[in-house]
Structure 1
Amino acid sequence: MIRYIDFFAALIGLICLLPILFIVTMIGFFDTGSPIFVQERMGRHKKPFKLVKFRTMPVETQSVASHLLGGTSITKFGRFLRRTKIDELPQLINVFKGEMSLVGPRPNLVNQQELIIKRDALGVYDVLPGITGLAQIQNIDMSTPDLLAKVDKQMIETLSLREYFKYILKTATGSGGGDSVK
């Protein structure tokens, strides 16, 4: 059931948000020269996939978890995109393709070994990763792997249609601050 909701929500979202996606892409060309950011992430059953986002940092920025980078790594436009969560909108493509869900554990980088071990032990990789979830609305990011894995497991065990829509609504209305950058 949730896969059908994900598919149609992503399709409708991509169609309805096309003007915003286009405008952000054009502004992104002036901001970084390369507005789309593609990064390998860990998906369901630990299968890697290419996550799509709007670029919020210069092209030459090292590909590591956001919490490991300094705040100066984010462009002014990138700060706006992160604050409004607009940088996440291209992930609707990943949802449409079935690589992600709207709700699920955030997909980690393939080199975040400590988090991979903790999530694997709790069965977090048995589900599709998501754009948002319980950890995101509680401001828990990948800088605390043990806590994140436990909250992801809790979300998976208690996820219902009601919770699914609650996480989406809370994210859309501003809960959670996105990835922290020190």
Structure 2
Amino acid sequence: MYRKYVKSVFDFIFALFTLVLFLPFFVLIILFIPIFDRFHPFFIQDRVGKHTQSFRIYKFKTMNDKKDSEGKLLPEELRVTRLGRFLRQSGLDEIPQLINILKFEMSFIGPRPLPVYYINLDDKLQRDRHRVLPGITGLAQITGRNSLKWPEKYRLDNYYIEHQSFWMDLKILLKTIYSANGYDAVNFEHVIPKKKAE
């Protein structure tokens, strides 16, 4: 019941409420990025969604497009702007994804959507994670994010899909909020599955 119907209703209502709440920040960021960083405020990219259907994800742009003498983009750490770094650290760069939720392309909680070139990877763990809508945050993000290797991320994504519930979603959301604000006072380790010994 929760997985099929209730979650999508919660997502839509909460996304609409959050978008209205953050609308002043949304407008300010749209104005500030062109003024301070001198480029288009939005990052738009094709990503893999539910049932491997592609969709366009929206984020605030945090990096410039500077290239080296050979015409190749500079490393990411050299292209992130000062404003972009603030947007990433605060999580405000994710606000436009509320539009994806309102379009029923994403959820608040779920596996992070990958670029479309991952569709052709012949890996069962990777394919299985597309059984649900991708999310702004998920179990892999609160467990280790970029410090995790891909097989471990896929394992956590699939664990979430098999065990998702209202309470798990709430715990992941709270952990995400606490982490974004620099807190680590709440223990959510009972949510995270222990890897079985080989």
Q: TM-score range by the shorter chain?
A: 0.7 to 0.9
Select the residue among 125, 149, 157 that pairs with 2:130.
125
Deviation, 1:106, is 0.2
Note if 1:48 corresponds to 2:54: yes
Q: Distance in 2 between matches of 1:89 and 1:115?
A: 29
Per the alignment, residue 35 of structure 1 pairs with 41
- The percentage of aligned residue pairs carrying the same residue is 37
Ranges in structure 1 where 5+ consecutive residues have no aligned partner: 62-68, 178-182
Ranges in structure 2 where 5+ consecutive residues have no aligned partner: 1-5, 68-74, 183-198
Q: Distance in 2 between matches of 1:54 and 1:106?
A: 17
Three-state SS of the structure 1 residue aligned to 2:56 is: strand
Q: Is the 8 A contact 1:38 1:52 kept in 2?
A: yes
Three-state SS of the structure 2 residue aligned to 1:150 is: helix
| TM-superposition CA deviations, 1:133-176 (whole Å, max 9, x none) | 11111222397221111110111122110111111111112259
Per the alignment, residue 88 of structure 2 pairs with 82
The 1:40/1:76 distance shift into structure 2, 3 A limit, reads same
Q: TM-score by structure 1 length? A: 0.84
Letter in 1 for 2:151: D
Q: Is the 8 A contact 1:139 1:176 kept in 2?
A: no
Per the alignment, residue 22 of structure 2 pairs with 17
| TM-superposition CA deviations, 1:83-114 (whole Å, max 9, x none) | 11110111000001100000000000112368
The farther-off stretch of 163-172 and 135-144 is 135-144
Question: Over aligned residues, Cα RMSD in angstroms?
Answer: 2.4
Q: Distance in 2 between matches of 1:46 and 1:143?
A: 23
* Residue-pair matches, total: 169
